[in-house]
Amino acid sequence: MSKKLTKRSEDYSKWYNELVVKADLAENSAVRGCMVIKPYGFAIWEKMQAELDRMFKETGHQNAYFPLFVPKSLFEAEEKNAEGFAKECAVVTHYRLQNDPDNEGKLRVDPEAKLEEELVVRPTSEAIIWNTYKGWIQSYRDLPLLINQWANVVRWEMRTRLFLRTAEFLWQEGHTAHATKTEAIAEAKQMQEVYAEFAENFMAMPVVKGVKSDSERFAGAEDTYTIEALMQDGKALQAGTSHFLGQNFAEAFDVKFTNKEGKQDYVWATSWGVSTRLIGGLIMTHSDDNGLVLPPKLAPIQVVIVPIYKGQDQLDAISEKAKSIQSDLRRKGISVKFDDRDTFRPGAKFAEYELKGVPVRIAIGNRDLENGTLEIARRDTFEKQIVNQDDSVNFIENLLEEIQVNLFQKAIDFRKQNTSIVDDFKEFKKAIKKGGFVSAHWDGTEETEDRIKEYTKATIRCIPNDAKEESGVCVLTGKPSNKRVLFAKAY
Amino acid sequence: MSKKLTKRSEDYSKWYNELVVKADLAENSAVRGCMVIKPYGFAIWEKMQAELDRMFKETGHQNAYFPLFVPKSLFEAEEKNAEGFAKECAVVTHYRLQNDPDNEGKLRVDPEAKLEEELVVRPTSEAIIWNTYKGWIQSYRDLPLLINQWANVVRWEMRTRLFLRTAEFLWQEGHTAHATKTEAIAEAKQMQEVYAEFAENFMAMPVVKGVKSDSERFAGAEDTYTIEALMQDGKALQAGTSHFLGQNFAEAFDVKFTNKEGKQDYVWATSWGVSTRLIGGLIMTHSDDNGLVLPPKLAPIQVVIVPIYKGQDQLDAISEKAKSIQSDLRRKGISVKFDDRDTFRPGAKFAEYELKGVPVRIAIGNRDLENGTLEIARRDTFEKQIVNQDDSVNFIENLLEEIQVNLFQKAIDFRKQNTSIVDDFKEFKKAIKKGGFVSAHWDGTEETEDRIKEYTKATIRCIPNDAKEESGVCVLTGKPSNKRVLFAKAY
């Protein structure tokens, strides 16, 4: 095994980068800012996808697929959206390469194969999708239209980090169309709830649900509903957003419908997305100096069985027992790996599965065979227990649930300890410097928001859905405010 | 409902295009050659993906994800592969748009945001993947490396058709690395078998397994194993290919490993893929003048229940029974839609599900309630039967299996009737003109193959795996040959 991870307390960012690579989740590629998602990292994404996809379908959505490319004229149709993404989009200008006569054996773009209209590689798909919806929606009978797409998108970011911010990333984007404003807002809020449920119940990552301030809103949206999580280093992570788009895209793409009264009206829209960024959030919520810690519900391998043996005879006897436990667990829907490789010693295997965050490790040796026992170790607390083989299936089923609950509780506790309520700017700066969420009054202006950002690097993460009416004064300007908002430095 | 489909006998190609759109499978988009896959079409793709993904995992493969873009220098590293795809690739040259000072309010590419190195949108991922594998493979212990990717790819085709040939399409691409030539060839052949099994057992589409001639081989491969299906219009469809790549990519990207004897050697490679093109094959294997015919194993809706009623009371009573049948069937894992929309009459619903190829339709009216019966109609033969409600679950389970078998058998019979064995060029031309597979002797030269293509538009689809040793003479040149090969005009 490669040498130890940097400690989180030494350099959190370095710890993160090392962990992503050493745990075989992802690595940088030859393409600037684009990552390779390795099989182990992709297996986590597949688990996330499966749960989210189920939740989307249960709420009435269907999947579809729209083109990767957006012709420039469509891209620029909704002005705010275009303005928001124009500075970071990859543009296809040619459709052929040819041999370069000045550089033998090399290729260059064929100047005669220049596209009449440039194609933007989708940074998000509102434009291409609303241009399509125009043909699909005539009457209220065609509404609501509830569609989701799993896709890759490209945003030419200058500073990238594996999972958290990459030039290409994988995501899902929901795009829905509704007959009324009320219904569209309800949809956008529903998807915020779905995301929050997924984050908390599957990722064991507590989130604050709220709405974005004007300046943090999605380009082209009327309102952006967000879920915000707190990472171990005290920085916030925007983990998912759901947008109420009003009639902006319907107007830009002329999507009208005949309502029940026979009148024409523009359609109301939402869009919502989460991405492979969630994997970054998962890592920075639970993992420790020994490596990944994965919540059982998203762990590609939930249980690993490591045999402790001397010689082939012992291994054979242990294997028989291990395989029987493996199939018992599998019958319960638990994913189990039996690692009988003879090229690694048990200690090396223990370290590997610790690094990879496998929630439960079973060790089984010769004495266990004699005694009818197993040694069961949990990754989150490092506790070990000797358990009777006969009780092991129930024990492990319960243990996996317990680990899931424990990780969530630990993260909740961490957030509680790292949320400050402050009422003046000196305290505010101190709290932001310390890290964590800071709950404070704000006068509601973009100007104040900008100045706070300038002084402290903190941004308004959201106006929490559950923020109480409470009269107070803005921490910066002293102007009146009736609600606290949540500030933090953020990824 | 919109007016009737063009008949297949009138214009097969028009029938196909109309059917794809009318059955809500896909449509053309605003981007030249790129399609929108609509929810119903995408649901078929999801079913295909689920089965294939399971089969890949059962044969030891893992999923991963590699970048969309291939830097030009990597793209051109394997010369034959680059040559094969250079003429049809989309190229990203800029990473930013800006306001066009000469055209107010419009965007243009920012000339200052020109990439130092152009990025090719992947037409296939050997280059970017083998460049990555270089870092993953050092020793024989790292082999075999068995990876698959589900992705979108872009090939700038000039003539496109929905599903069959589109500029962007969805596919999976397996990329494996092996220590020995024997093992790599076995892998490539194994995946040909997996594809054939999927085509026959799930799509009910019979295929001929064979190997491509030199000129039809994948650019950069040593051997291409293919599965070839015969469409209703007598044209062949290449439905999936698996390539033995030799050491070409390992050499181009310098991927060496230390073998068990401690010596350095280049790694052996395969790649293999199937795409959304399969949906085109599915349509052209089974569908008829009334619309889609879907094999039950891939039908998004396997059974539809249509109530026949007058007034709300009757509907209520029928709904209760229908929902109980629906849940009985669902418990058996059968997907059932109960269509109680009151905005369409039963006749319109029947036509809609016929068009959409739902394998089994249940009609239930007031008399059925009284008699404890159902009317069950199958889409493939239009046969109707009155069945006791108590027997209906078993009946339908069996019927779905029977339909699956029947579709396959019909397709097998069609292929048998449309395969000619010919021994001279006059007959050959006649047979090709008539359509179907033509089994004939060929002298093994590319020149003859080219001339036959020029004269008849037919190509060698494959040299079948099960071709018998048989001495004969080439249909064109009269030169000796020891095996028949399969010719056809192809999509």
Encode pLDDT of A163-186 as tens digits: 999 999 999 999 999 999 999 999
- Asked if pLDDT for residue A160 goes beyond 70, the answer is yes
* Whether B91 and A93 lie within 8 Å, measured CB to CB: yes
- Contact residues on chain B for A131, CB-CB shorter than 8 A: 30
A69, A134, A163, A275: best mutation site toward chain B, by most B Cβ within 10 Å?
Answer: A69
- Asked if pLDDT for residue B4 goes beyond 90, the answer is no
Q: How does the average pLDDT of chain B come out, rounded?
A: 97
Q: Is A152 an interface residue toward B (CB < 8 Å)?
A: yes
* Whether B107 and A82 lie within 8 Å, measured CB to CB: yes
Q: Nearest CA to CA, how far is A177 from chain B (Å)? A: 15
* Whether A90 and B89 lie within 8 Å, measured CB to CB: no
- Contact residues on chain B for A35, CB-CB shorter than 8 A: 67
Instruction: Give percent above pLDDT 90 in chain B.
Output: 97
- CA B92 – CA A466 distance, rounded (Å): 45
Domain B419-488 is classified in which CATH homologous superfamily?
Answer: C-terminal domain of ProRS (3.30.110.30)
Query: What is the model's pLDDT at position B312?
Result: 93
- CA B78 – CA B66 distance, rounded (Å): 18
Of A116, A245, A230, A237, nearest in space to A173 by CA: A245
- Contact residues on chain B for A27, CB-CB shorter than 8 A: 132, 135
* Whether B87 and A72 lie within 8 Å, measured CB to CB: no
Residue A488 contacts residue A235 (beta carbons within 8 Å): yes
Instruction: Give percent above pLDDT 70 in chain A.
Output: 99
pLDDT band at B51 (very low <50, low <70, confident <90, very high): very high
With a CB-CB cutoff of 8 Å, which residues 46-85 of chain A face chain B?
A: 46, 62-72, 74-76, 79, 82
- CA A169 – CA A161 distance, rounded (Å): 11
- CA A299 – CA A181 distance, rounded (Å): 40
A12-91+121-286 placed in CATH 3.30.930.10: yes
Encode pLDDT of B438-475 as tens digits: 999 999 999 999 999 999 999 999 999 999 999 999 99
Encode pLDDT of B335-388 as tens digits: 999 999 998 999 999 999 999 999 999 999 999 999 999 999 999 999 999 999
Q: How does the average pLDDT of chain A come out, rounded?
A: 97
Mean pLDDT value of segment A369-374: 96
Query: What is the model's pLDDT at position A121?
Result: 98
- CA A153 – CA A157 distance, rounded (Å): 12
* Whether B63 and A86 lie within 8 Å, measured CB to CB: no
- CA A240 – CA A199 distance, rounded (Å): 9
* Whether A66 and B29 lie within 8 Å, measured CB to CB: yes
- Asked if pLDDT for residue B2 goes beyond 70, the answer is no
With a CB-CB cutoff of 8 Å, which residues 168-197 of chain B face chain A?
A: 168, 170
Q: Which residues neighbour B302 within 8 Å (Cβ) at sequence distance 6 or greater? A: B296, B334, B335, B336, B358, B359, B360, B400
- Asked if pLDDT for residue B187 goes beyond 70, the answer is yes
* Whether B88 and A95 lie within 8 Å, measured CB to CB: yes
The whole-angstrom distance between residue B127's C-alpha and the CA centroid of its chain comes to: 23
- Contact residues on chain A for B72, CB-CB shorter than 8 A: 97, 107
Q: Is B119 an interface residue toward A (CB < 8 Å)?
A: yes
pLDDT band at A265 (very low <50, low <70, confident <90, very high): very high
- CATH topology of A301-399 equal to that of A419-488? no
Q: How many CB atoms within 10 Å of residue A105?
A: 9
Q: Nearest CA to CA, how far is B3 from chain A (Å)? A: 18
Query: What is the model's pLDDT at position A104?
Result: 81
Query: What is the model's pLDDT at position A3?
Result: 67
Query: What is the model's pLDDT at position A45?
Result: 98
From residue A201, alpha-carbon distances to A194, A332, A405, B102 in Å are: 10, 20, 9, 53
- CA B76 – CA B73 distance, rounded (Å): 6
With a CB-CB cutoff of 8 Å, which residues 91-110 of chain B face chain A?
A: 91-98, 105-109
Encode pLDDT of B265-284 as tens digits: 999 999 999 999 999 999 99
Question: B12-69+123-286 adopts what CATH topology?
Answer: BirA Bifunctional Protein; domain 2 (3.30.930)
- Contact residues on chain A for B107, CB-CB shorter than 8 A: 72, 75-76, 82, 86
Q: Nearest CA to CA, how far is A167 from chain B (Å)? A: 10
From residue A186, alpha-carbon distances to A63, A213, A463 in Å are: 20, 19, 18
Mean pLDDT value of segment A257-286: 97
Encode pLDDT of A197-217 as tens digits: 999 999 999 999 999 999 999
Query: What is the model's pLDDT at position A1?
Result: 45
* Whether A95 and B89 lie within 8 Å, measured CB to CB: yes
Of B153, B157, B223, B160, nearest in space to B27 by CA: B160
pLDDT band at A4 (very low <50, low <70, confident <90, very high): confident
- CA A490 – CA A156 distance, rounded (Å): 19
Q: Is A255 an interface residue toward B (CB < 8 Å)?
A: no
Question: Which residue in B42, B43, B118 is closest to A109 by CB distance?
Answer: B118
- The predicted complex's ipTM stands at 0.97
Question: Which residue in A67, A107, A168 is closest to B31 by CB distance?
Answer: A67
Encode pLDDT of B119-155 as tens digits: 999 999 999 999 999 999 999 999 999 999 999 999 9
Residue A75 contacts residue A84 (beta carbons within 8 Å): no
- Asked if pLDDT for residue B319 goes beyond 50, the answer is yes
Q: Is A35 an interface residue toward B (CB < 8 Å)?
A: yes
Side-chain half-sphere exposure of A383, counting CA atoms within 13 A:
9
pLDDT band at B104 (very low <50, low <70, confident <90, very high): confident
CATH for A301-399 is 3.40.50.800
Q: Nearest CA to CA, how far is A413 from chain B (Å)? A: 35
pLDDT band at A146 (very low <50, low <70, confident <90, very high): very high
Question: Which residue in A35, A96, A106 is closest to B89 by CB distance?
Answer: A96
Query: What is the model's pLDDT at position A2?
Result: 54
Query: What is the model's pLDDT at position A341?
Result: 93
B82: nearest CA partner in chain A: A107
Q: What are phi and psi of A230, to 5 degrees?
A: -110, 125
Residue A448 contacts residue A442 (beta carbons within 8 Å): yes
- Asked if pLDDT for residue A430 goes beyond 60, the answer is yes
Query: What is the model's pLDDT at position A343?
Result: 87
Of B333, B349, B351, nearest in space to B341 by CA: B349
- Contact residues on chain A for B89, CB-CB shorter than 8 A: 95-97
- CA B124 – CA B130 distance, rounded (Å): 12
- Contact residues on chain B for A62, CB-CB shorter than 8 A: 39, 42-43
Mean pLDDT value of segment A1-13: 87
- CA B439 – CA B51 distance, rounded (Å): 32
Query: What is the model's pLDDT at position B3?
Result: 66
A102 φψ region: left (φ > 0), alpha (ψ -120 to 50), beta (else): alpha
Residue ranges of the domains in chain B? 12-69+123-286, 301-399, 419-488
- Asked if pLDDT for residue A331 goes beyond 70, the answer is yes
Instruction: Give percent above pLDDT 90 in chain A.
Output: 97
- Asked if pLDDT for residue B1 goes beyond 60, the answer is no
Question: Which residue in A38, A86, A96 is closest to B107 by CB distance?
Answer: A86
**Which has more confidence, B103 or A422?**
A422
Encode pLDDT of B8-40 as tens digits: 999 999 999 999 999 999 999 999 999 999 999
Q: Is B151 an interface residue toward A (CB < 8 Å)?
A: yes
- Contact residues on chain B for A39, CB-CB shorter than 8 A: 62-64, 147
Q: Is A289 an interface residue toward B (CB < 8 Å)?
A: no
